[in-house]
Each structure stands twice: as C-alpha cells, then as structure tokens.
Amino acid sequence: MIRADGAGFRRVASKPGYCLGSPKWSSDGRRIVFYEITTEGTWGAHRPEWIGRVESQIVSIDVATGERVEHTTGPGLKLFPQFLSTQEIGCLIKGGPEEGLAYTSGRPAVKRALRSPNWSPDGKRVIYEKVGFQARPQNKSLYSWDKDWEYRHTDVFPGSRSAFTARRR
C-alpha cells in the first residue's frame, strides 16, 4: 500500500507460494479484497485445458489491523473480486461448470462466458469484456511500420493466445 503522494509504502498482505491479484478497495476504505492462487496455479489459469481445474480463493484484509477474511472456499478459478457493499463481494469464475459472475451473499450467479467484470459503485450494474476466441490463421501476415521487417502471427508460445514472429526481410 502507498499513499497517492508516494509516502507510507508498506506491505498489507502476502502468502508464501501464492500470487495475490486484482486488489480493490471497499467503499469505506477499510478493507482490500483480492484473489489468492498458488504460484503454480497461475500457469494453469492461462491454459484452456486447465482453467476448470485451477482453484483460487477470494480474501480480504483489514488495512488497519491486518485481519484476514477468506470469503470463498472450494473449487473454481475466482478472479476480479470487488466489494459491492460491506457485506457482499462479486467475482468472476473463469471456466468450468460455474463460469460467470458469482457473489458471496448468496445472490444468484450469472452463468456466462465473460471476462474483466467491473461493478458500478452501488453493485447494481456490471460492465465486462466479451471475448470471441477466433484465432487468426497460423503465419498470417501482420502490418509492419518498418519495411525491413516482416511480421507474422503464430500461436505456439506457452501461456499466450496470440503472438507474432518477426524476421528481417
């Protein structure tokens, strides 16, 4: 955590062997919510064949006291948590049979294939990214600003849905 002026830098959460991501403040500024996933699990979170088998949890920390609360348990890749009120957190479950928006309050889930949800401050609306995974053909020519270089699309790098290769003409 750090103040807007760059002062007061301090760690508020860590867990050996885990990655903590997508932090968001509560509306009262007292808590920070985030997801926890094993470092090894981050690889599987990017692989289509592993997404439904990777597990993460939604956790929050009281900034003043360091009190830690685990808001979820069990299977599912839970990402992009956000406080919708002091009693409710929304998040994305990526992949698997429960894919979509989930809530810690018991509000019914919204099962849809979507990414990057962000709720309105009152928690009544959500905006998200809808991804159409249409792959470009392998080795398709890509535009180059430099006439001396030829760029082509490829999809052979681990953890990447799209990439490109470059070679001097």
Claim to verify: residue 144 and residue 169 sit in the same structural domain? yes
Claim to verify: residue 49 and residue 124 sit in the same structural domain? yes
Is the residue at 50 inside a domain? Answer: yes
* The pLDDT of residue 162: 47
Given a cut of 90, whether residue 15 has pLDDT beyond it is: yes
Is the residue at 6 inside a domain? Answer: no
State the total domains in the chain.
Answer: 2
Helix-strand-coil split of the chain, %, nearest 5: 5, 40, 55
* The pLDDT of residue 134: 67
Nearest to 77 by CA among 59, 47, 106, 99: 99
pLDDT digits (tens, 9 = 90+) for 118-129: 999 888 999 999
Claim to verify: residue 124 and residue 162 sit in the same structural domain? no
CATH of the domain at 43: 2.120.10.30
Claim to verify: residue 66 and residue 103 sit in the same structural domain? yes
Is the residue at 5 inside a domain? Answer: no
pLDDT digits (tens, 9 = 90+) for 21-63: 999 999 999 999 999 999 999 998 888 888 888 999 999 999 9
CA 60 to chain centroid:
15
Claim to verify: residue 91 and residue 56 sit in the same structural domain? yes
CA distance linking residue 163 with residue 153, whole number of Å = 6
Could you write out the DSSP letters of every residue in 21-52? EEEEE-TTSSEEEEEEEEHHHHHHTT-TTTGG
Is the residue at 162 inside a domain? Answer: yes
Claim to verify: residue 157 and residue 88 sit in the same structural domain? no
Claim to verify: residue 124 and residue 150 sit in the same structural domain? no
Domain range for 102 is 18-129
